[in-house]
Amino acid sequence: MWARTVRERVAKRVSQIRISYLRFMGVTIGRKCFISRKAFIDVRRGAIIIGDYVHIAPGSFVLSHAARRPNKAGQVTRIEDNVSILVNAVVLPGVKVGKNSVVGASAVVMQDVPPNVTVMGNPARVVWPRGNKPRGGE
């Protein structure tokens, strides 16, 4: 029991240090966010804005530019408030993930995600509205 508490406190502190570093590198990050130490946030080119209460799981990529293609003027990768990005998901540059959304494990987000939905797949598609349970076969 105590080992779990210690591990959770250490993970939270490591996330806080990582968030401080990302802010120093120019990423705009809101309050009470958790970014795993194994998540990749691209700070080399372009702009990334992350809202409040965002959770980014290990192995996830949030990109601000794509390979050798130049960024479009004003291109911003935006993750709004209360978003969860699950394990190994990829958010491509210039995409906006709406409030209260969930990006499923291993999803590749290539287009804007509306608010209050869950997206999954490659390319990511809306699976169901958030808050409603999925029905069998859909």
| Closest of 125, 55, 40, 23 to residue 88, by C-alpha | 40
Residue 13 Cα distances to 9, 10, 19, angstroms: 6, 5, 10
Catalytic residue among 65, 79, 89, 94: 65
Instruction: Look at strands 125-129 and 117-120 and give their pairing.
Output: antiparallel
Residue 121's identity, in one-letter code, is: G
Is 65 catalytic? The answer is: yes
Contact predicate 44/61, CB 8 Å = no
- CA 12 from chain centre, in angstroms, equals 17
End-to-end CA distance of the chain: 40
Active site residues: 65
